Structure 1
Amino acid sequence: MITLTIAQIAHAIAGEPVLSAADSLDTPVSGAVDTDSRLIGRGDVFVAKPGEHTDGHLFVPAVAEAGAALAIVERIVDAPISQIVVPDVVAALAALAREVVARVRARGDLRIVGITGSNGKTTTKNMLARILEGEAETVAPRASFNNEVGAPLTMLRVTEQTRYLVCEFGASAPGEIARLAGLVEPDIGIVLMVGLAHAGGFGGIEATFHAKSELVRAVRPGGLAVLNADDPRVSQMAPIATERDVRVRWFGRGDTAEVRAGEIEVSATGTATTVTVDGVDHPLRLSVLGAHHVANALAAIAAATALGVAADAAIGRVESLELAERWRMQPLGSDSIRIINDAYNASPDSMAAALRTLAQITGPDERTVAVLGAMSELGEYAEEEHDRVGLLAVRLGIKRIVVIGVDARRMYLEAIAQGSWDGEAVFFATADEAFDYLQGELRAGDRVLVKSSNAAGLRFLGDRLGESVS
């Protein structure tokens, strides 16, 4: 965090400072800000957030002993550390982020990019960060820091030298993206797609559209909206941009997109295409598996070139990215048995994309194996969408379909109904049972996809399988 005095922090978050004997209101604070006490070191700021399973206030004495400079709390804790008392520490965290970014932005050369979409946010964030890091100091989220806590924590990592801030905005209910993006008013807003991810929380696909369009509404006047020309719902956000004096830059496969891709070739070693940027063709070969990641690359390139990065440089840096993120189309195992661990998250769109990728990268003498778990937060669409996945797996000719968990059972039942009744589809209640089965089932030449939402926990099964066949 940039240097602020305790008085300045207290004013920014409308809190009441309670000072330790060693401090005054003019004491400067410049350490990192976090809600995880295990990450707090000397000079840092601890935000004592109450949680479902524990309460951050219990750890204030520990961070004081670790040398923390300040704690932001909802009640005073008996510990030798200066504290600022606020009614709501999460709201205070957001207010502090707004203040810090505003101070750095006043310098005049900070550029802020916000990213949202039902799928692809983290991959696009990593691609864009890789591009911009080659230009100047860039701050981007760790992992998927995109919620009411993670997004402000990312914003608070900016320094006086930061030139680019990349923010990822996720949401499980209307209004969340507006609140988060409103903290920084991005110069560029990227909307990747509108799908059924979190549709249960939003209340349907139209409500999801309105939620994702909140980012376009948050872009500052004179800014830029980078929109997916291939997604009809995202395309409908263009008038919103125009109303706010925000320009539109399109990416996609169609001829109208300023940044577009040609024919896509997918193999076990990556994805190749030709990218046209403002009328000039460039070859692109991604190490990241899956045709669906081409759209993410297009979005990142569209934003970067709008910021003045040369297209060749942007493409070269995207090509250098070997892995989108851990547990996202992550290759594991060996050449003999390849595991693709894509179980950090799942929606109907990403599940379909991953299954298609599995089919595309598997040779004629190799066998496809799909290890599938539940997709979370689909609400009333859950049964229908799990049925669709089971159907798609059969239609794609997946040779072994391993379904895990009661919430995912409809995938198995649909696969059976579609003709996979001769051992091609199996069901297990737990990941441990599935692991034991797969230990005896997998053989040389297998290409194995592990895919589920985070809550299903299959990412750990993917790790176990990768280790077991290495």
Structure 2
Amino acid sequence: MHTSTTSTNALMPWSAQDLAQATQGSWYKERTPNTQIKRILTNSRHAESGDAFLALKGERFDAHTFVAQVQTQGCEVAIVERPIDDVEIYQLVVADTRLALGLLGAFRRKSCHDLKVVALTGSSGKTTTKEMLGSIFSQLAPTLVTRGNLNNDLGVPMMLLELTEQHRYAVMELGANHQGEIDYTSHLVAPDVAGILNIGTAHLGEFGGREGICQAKSEIYQHLKASGCAIVPKNDDFTVKIEQKTQSFQCLSFGEGGDVYATDIQLQSESTIFLLHTPKGITQIDLPFAGAHNVDNALAATAFALALDVPLQVIAQGLASAVAAKGRLNFIRKKQYLCIDDTYNANPTSMLAASHVLSQQQGIKVLVMGDIGELGDTATSEHQKLGEQLSHFAIDQIVAVGEYAQAVSVAATGPVPVAHFETQAQALPYLIEMIKKHQPQTMSFLFKGSRFTHMETLMADLMETL
């Protein structure tokens, strides 16, 4: 199996002429390095001989102040908006270093002629679908996959800079914090296949509603190659609007009623079996992921792979060997206790999906939920809606932690009891007491919340007491 990292593949070097051409910049005092540049970095701590340090500027920082420092570390080239005096380092002056990073990423992408690029976005499921696709394509050839959350206007070009001559596939996750961001990043990646997984409620605050989210996500099709394929969710509330954006492309749809769909779904506590139906045939999928939502993710991954003519057998093998990303429904066992780590992030849709997985586990089932961010003015009402829905699930207890924990508790009208706490420090003794009360019974805990809540800390603290 081919790796999806660049650790064993040499990065393509840059010449001084390449850098100037890509960024439309000019060398300060016409001094140009005569050696090739191996890497372009934005982190001054890692800059060394053979690197080019790109000095980004933000609201609270200006990396131009580190140019002298990187010179002492052996770095001979800096890409800057304004030249720094009293340094010997070669300086490429550009209009805007943030945009220069994008131009460099796009330049590297264009220089990879044998590369097929998949771009995906959505309100939930991006990380898991990305990992599934990485597993599928890696059966065939070296594949670059977006790492962590490098899916914004800085992260996407940083990932493109990791492309090597060995890569044949790239799976690029595109996120959106504002209108126009996906238009920008999809232009950089120039995808052969582009698609939306779903239109949910993540980032409601930034876009003022799901219509705005749909508009932002649909930008992913704007730079799809004319000969490319658009991937469309068939049973989303916004399917019709998405289909209007993709009329000029060849399309593949996934989900019930789509080109790629599932039947005979057997949801198990930690895995799923289903029959995969595609225009290329039918096959059984043994998916090492729990939950109906991960069937949807697997269908999406299948559609993306089929668009690049990946054989059905390879897709099945890739899905069977896919591994969940850290903090994405990871099952951790200790004695008679199961902790489900789904702490990577959260939105209302994914909170419900993960709670369904919890309901299929053994013993006393406890949801430990943190706040969900980026909901704007709807934060209180969305947490209340969750409290109402989750209190009717087949689980035994909800422990809500954070600013909106009380909103969850107040709205819970179902049979599931809800305890609410402002802080993790307050919640921990309650959880410990609950375990003592139910000993020696089997217990299953789901920990989930938005990234800023760091619910993995509470999970680790509880596991230390088991």
When normalised by structure 2's length, the TM-score is: 0.90
Superposition deviation, residue 233 in structure 1: 0.9
Corresponding pairs, count: 451
Structure 1 pair 300–397 and aligned structure 2 pair: CA distance change class (3 A): closer
The one-letter code matched in structure 2 to 1:334 is K
How far apart, in 1, do the equivalents of 2:235 and 2:144 lie? 29
**SS of match in other structure, 1:218:** coil
How far apart, in 2, do the equivalents of 1:291 and 1:195 lie? 16
Structure 1 pair 195–98 and aligned structure 2 pair: CA distance change class (3 A): same
5+ residue gaps, structure 2? 1-10
How far apart, in 1, do the equivalents of 2:397 and 2:189 lie? 47
**SS of match in other structure, 1:343:** coil
CA contact (8 A) 1:191 1:234 kept: no
Structure 2 partner of 1:97: 105
CA contact (8 A) 1:19 1:82 kept: no
Matches within 5 A, 1:143-222: 143-222=148-227
For the pair 1:332 / 2:345, whether they are aligned, the reply is no
Superposition deviation, residue 54 in structure 1: 4.4
Structure 1 partner of 2:38: 30
Structure 1 pair 436–40 and aligned structure 2 pair: CA distance change class (3 A): farther
How far apart, in 1, do the equivalents of 2:334 and 2:299 lie? 30
**SS of match in other structure, 1:314:** helix
How far apart, in 1, do the equivalents of 2:335 and 2:282 lie? 34
Superposition deviation, residue 155 in structure 1: 0.9
Structure 1 partner of 2:357: 357
How far apart, in 1, do the equivalents of 2:145 and 2:323 lie? 18
Superposition deviation, residue 41 in structure 1: 4.3
How far apart, in 2, do the equivalents of 1:294 and 1:335 lie? 30
CA contact (8 A) 1:333 1:468 kept: no
How far apart, in 1, do the equivalents of 2:462 and 2:93 lie? 48
CA contact (8 A) 2:346 2:372 kept: yes
Structure 1 pair 294–66 and aligned structure 2 pair: CA distance change class (3 A): farther
Structure 1 pair 167–431 and aligned structure 2 pair: CA distance change class (3 A): same
Matches within 5 A, 1:70-85: 70-77=77-84, 78-85=86-93
**SS of match in other structure, 1:242:** coil
The one-letter code matched in structure 2 to 1:308 is D
How far apart, in 2, do the equivalents of 1:290 and 1:9 lie? 47
Superposition deviation, residue 17 in structure 1: 2.4
CA contact (8 A) 1:7 1:25 kept: no
Structure 2 partner of 1:271: 272
Structure 1 partner of 2:302: 301
How far apart, in 2, do the equivalents of 1:252 and 1:182 lie? 27
**Cα deviations by residue, 1:319-369 (Å, 9 ceiling, x for unpaired):** 11232x111112223251111111221111111111111112x23xx1110
**Cα deviations by residue, 1:122-149 (Å, 9 ceiling, x for unpaired):** 1111111111122112111111210011
Structure 1 pair 201–282 and aligned structure 2 pair: CA distance change class (3 A): same
How far apart, in 1, do the equivalents of 2:297 and 2:170 lie? 18
**SS of match in other structure, 1:292:** helix
**SS of match in other structure, 2:404:** helix
Superposition deviation, residue 235 in structure 1: 4.4
Structure 2 partner of 1:49: 56
For the pair 1:403 / 2:400, whether they are aligned, the reply is yes
Structure 2 partner of 1:250: 253
Q: Which moved more, 1:439-448 or 1:302-311?
A: 439-448
**SS of match in other structure, 2:205:** helix
**SS of match in other structure, 1:49:** coil
Structure 1 partner of 2:423: 430
How far apart, in 2, do the equivalents of 1:55 and 1:468 lie? 44
The one-letter code matched in structure 1 to 2:425 is D
For the pair 1:9 / 2:12, whether they are aligned, the reply is no
Structure 2 partner of 1:234: 239
5+ residue gaps, structure 1? none
**Cα deviations by residue, 1:218-247 (Å, 9 ceiling, x for unpaired):** 21112101111121313432232223xx11
How far apart, in 2, do the equivalents of 1:43 and 1:29 lie? 5
Structure 1 partner of 2:386: 389
Superposition deviation, residue 52 in structure 1: 5.6
After superposition, the CA RMSD in angstroms is 2.2
How far apart, in 2, do the equivalents of 1:15 and 1:407 lie? 49
**Cα deviations by residue, 1:368-420 (Å, 9 ceiling, x for unpaired):** 101111111112322221111111221004211111111343112222x5455
CA contact (8 A) 1:332 1:466 kept: no
For the pair 1:261 / 2:262, whether they are aligned, the reply is yes
For the pair 1:59 / 2:71, whether they are aligned, the reply is no
Structure 1 partner of 2:448: 451
The one-letter code matched in structure 2 to 1:249 is L
Superposition deviation, residue 258 in structure 1: 2.3
Structure 2 partner of 1:290: 291
